[in-house]
Amino acid sequence: MSSEHYFSETPGSDYKLKEIQVTIDGESVSVQTAGGIFSPDHIDQGTAVLLNHLNQVPPSGNLLDIGCGWGPIALSLAKRSPNAIVWAVDVNERSLELTRVNASRLGLTNIRVCKPDDVPEDLTFSGIWSNPPIRVGKEILHGLMLHWLPRLISDAEAYLVVQKNLGADSLHRWLETELPENYSTIRVDSAKSFRILRVKNRA
């Protein structure tokens, strides 16, 4: 088995671009993907389940996609809320390049694509949507959650999709105990073995 993962910073596989047809916020579009990233052949089931919750996207402010891959969540957010700024973050350089390319192809100018450390430290978010990289392990995953979720503004919500057999329920319990007291975590949906967790800053 290859030691390369979609969360590798610099994928070692050949950079072979391919076109796939997908639906972004109700519109069929052509995007570019490549190997060495998460779900290069299609919108994965978890992300598809998560995208059913786009009716909660704020019309403005800063929105965040943690682990953007080739961009399906970020592109959908940017298309749904053209007056918002969508921050698409990933450690995988190939994912970042593909998200930039796909944003340009779709004419979406409100996406900021960058590595996590390049997001301004004082930036806060009016919404977060993520199919988080569960396979990085609990320590790194928990660090990601504690880094980003406390940056929600008052009354803002985060939507996280996690596969049930990859620890959705244990993550739910952990979020309830480790986030600040003004945060609530509830399960708002279950579909195709995935859970959608909603984290809200109630302050």
- pLDDT per position as a tens digit, 29-88: 999 999 999 999 999 999 999 998 898 899 999 999 999 999 999 999 999 999 999 999
Other beta carbons less than 10 A from residue 135's beta carbon: 12
* CATH code at 18-201: 3.40.50.150
Point out the residues of the chain with pLDDT beneath 70. Answer: 1-14
**53: phi then psi, degrees, rounded to nearest 5:** -105, 25
Whose structure tokens read 């786009």? 54
- Total-model pTM: 0.92
Sequence-separated (6 or more) residues with CB below 8 Å from residue 80:
25, 54, 57
Please, are residues 150 and 180 in contact by the beta-carbon 8 Å criterion? Answer: yes
pLDDT in the model for residue 7: 52
- At 191, list the tokens: 């579909």
Each domain of the chain, given as residue ranges in start order, spans 18-201
pLDDT in the model for residue 109: 98
Sign for the CA dihedral angle at 103, 80, 91, 154 comes to: positive
User: How far apart, in whole angstroms, are the C-alpha atoms of residue 77 and residue 108?
Assistant: 10
Whose structure tokens read 């909660």? 56
pLDDT in the model for residue 6: 46
Strands (DSSP E) contained in 14-105 are 18-24, 27-33, 60-66, 83-89
